[in-house]
Amino acid sequence: MLFMQLKNKVVIISGATSGIGKACAFTFGSAGAKVVITGRSQPKIDNTLVQLQKAGIDCMGILADVASQDDNEQVAKETIAHFGKIDILINNAGISMRALFKDLDMKVFHQVMNTNFWGAVYLTKACLPQIIANKGSIVAVSSINGFRGTPARTAYTASKFAMNGFFESLRTEVMKLGVHVLVACPGFTESNIRNIALTADGSPQKESPRDESKMMTSEEVANAILSATVKRKRDIVLTSQGKLAHFLNKWIPGVMDTLVYNHMAKEKDSPFN
């Protein structure tokens, strides 16, 4: 059923050489879509394309920095030139950070916002005419942090709150045009995002402070996004912990402040210690 609905649809996925983005490339491609992946590393793009092609997926890769408006416009142009259209856009590219705001170099804050928020805005703007014409879908891979802030992740939280607000507003603009907008909010997901999360000075923290083996896998998130896209859902919140945080933050936000602080303070090498 999913194969028939996605057959020959053209899907752009930003930041698709690892984690959720890469999983989405395989999941949507295996369901019959033609897949365009973007990333900032040509070797990683080439390696991912080889894997996708071995799986029988029609695909192409574009070297692009999602924080660049010009690069995003080029992604849309090259996709149309190669496949003739754009049906689905998955705004996945993102980076995280971990440092107390009082210690944070503001260049890190700008870098996170430029990638997570502005990158999604630029690519959506570039692809929107095609998606309107094809009555397609726009997916924002946001986070539980899009509605509940966590300490030591001020920039990341701000970027995800901004994404949620932008896509909610956009959804209301285009809903009468047949365009579907999905905001997907995973909880903690097994990926390399914590390994490359930026510290106070902008250097990667390298080692995840959490047990990745106990988290939802990127493949599980990708499958949930695929299902929600086909069903044209408004939003999805993933993981039981994420759903609980979403619920409790609505009703007992003050208590949640303490619960979240205590939870994050227990992380390995927590900046609170």
Active site amino acids: 156
- Which residues, in sequence order, are CB contacts of 139 under 8 Å at separation 6+? 88, 89, 90, 91, 92, 181, 182, 183, 184, 225, 229
Kindly write down the DSSP assignment for every residue of 102-161, as one continuous string.
Answer: GG--HHHHHHHHIIIIIHHHHHHHHHHHHHHHTT-EEEEE--GGGTS--TT-HHHHHHHH
Please give the angle made by the CA atoms of 162, 163 and 168, to the nearest 5 degrees. Answer: 100
Q: What is the DSSP secondary structure assignment for residue 271, as one 8-state letter?
A: T
Query: How many residues does the structure list for the chain?
Result: 273
CA distances from 233 to 22, 24, 91, 181, 182 (A): 22, 17, 16, 8, 6
Query: What DSSP line would sit under 213-270, residue for residue?
Result: GGSEEHHHHHHHHHHHHHTT-SEEE-SHHHHHHHHHHHH-HHHHHHHHHHHHHTSTT-
